[in-house]
């Protein structure tokens, strides 16, 4: 009887262990990256935040800024190169393209951000907006009649190219 109970216990323990979940992302090859905050990892990119749906509006940052008045409030994919990160917390990063730059911030402040992606090409899904120097939303021209010089992208998805 003891042998039967012990065998049943081992069987149940092995069954439970086989269904254990591993925290982290899984690559297409099945490799688990437990220290990663990415929600998807492929050979081409790492994806952070939410899944990135396909949208019609796809721009490089310089072109998106040039057409901002046509896409005010629209969610679009914007690509560029990361030039710097916000210190150790990874709360935002600066994206640059064609001499223009924008501060990129995830809408969900609790969502994971890549730790150090400086120098890497990224595509984000979000809304581009003009801001003043303090980060407050601004219309097409400021109080002085000049075009805005500061931009930010409120994003929910970040694709980092490998």
DSSP-derived 3-state class of residue 7: helix
User: Which has more pLDDT, 92 or 89?
Assistant: 92
pLDDT of residue 110: 77
Residue ranges per structural domain of the chain: 47-161
User: Which has more pLDDT, 147 or 76?
Assistant: 76
Spatial separation of the C-alpha atoms in residues 135 and 99, rounded to whole Å: 19
Question: Which CATH code is given to the segment(s) 47-161?
Answer: 2.40.50.140
Does residue 12 register a pLDDT over 80?
no
| Band of pLDDT at residue 101, cut at 50, 70 and 90 | very high
pLDDT tens track for 64-74: 999 998 998 89
pLDDT of residue 29: 56
* Vertex 38: Cα angle to 120 and 116 (nearest 5): 35
Cβ contact 61:101 at 8 Å: yes
pLDDT tens track for 38-56: 899 999 999 999 999 988 8
Query: Which of 44-58, 104-118, 139-153 is the least confident region?
Result: 139-153
Element holding 157 (H helix, E strand): strand 150-161
Query: Which of 16-20, 118-122, 142-146 is the least confident region?
Result: 16-20
pLDDT of residue 3: 55
pLDDT of residue 16: 38
Query: Which of 74-78, 107-111, 143-147 is the least confident region?
Result: 143-147
| Band of pLDDT at residue 94, cut at 50, 70 and 90 | very high
């Amino acid at each position: 009887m003891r042998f039967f109970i012990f065998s049943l216990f081992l069987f149940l323990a092995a069954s439970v262990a086989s269904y254990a979940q591993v925290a982290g992302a899984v690559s297409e090859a099945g490799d688990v990256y437990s220290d990663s905050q990415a929600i998807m990892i492929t050979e081409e990119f790492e994806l952070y935040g939410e899944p990135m749906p396909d949208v019609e509006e796809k721009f490089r940052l310089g072109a998106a800024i040039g057409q901002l008045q046509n896409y005010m409030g629209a969610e679009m994919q914007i690509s560029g190169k990361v030039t710097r990160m916000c210190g150790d917390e990874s709360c935002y990063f600066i994206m640059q393209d064609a001499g223009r730059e924008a501060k990129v911030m995830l809408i969900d402040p609790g969502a994971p951000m890549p730790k150090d992606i400086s120098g890497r090409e990224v595509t984000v899904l979000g809304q581009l907006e003009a801001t003043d120097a303090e980060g407050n939303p601004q219309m097409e021209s400021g109080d002085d009649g000049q075009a805005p010089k500061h931009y930010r992208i409120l994003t929910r998805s970040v694709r980092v190219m490998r």
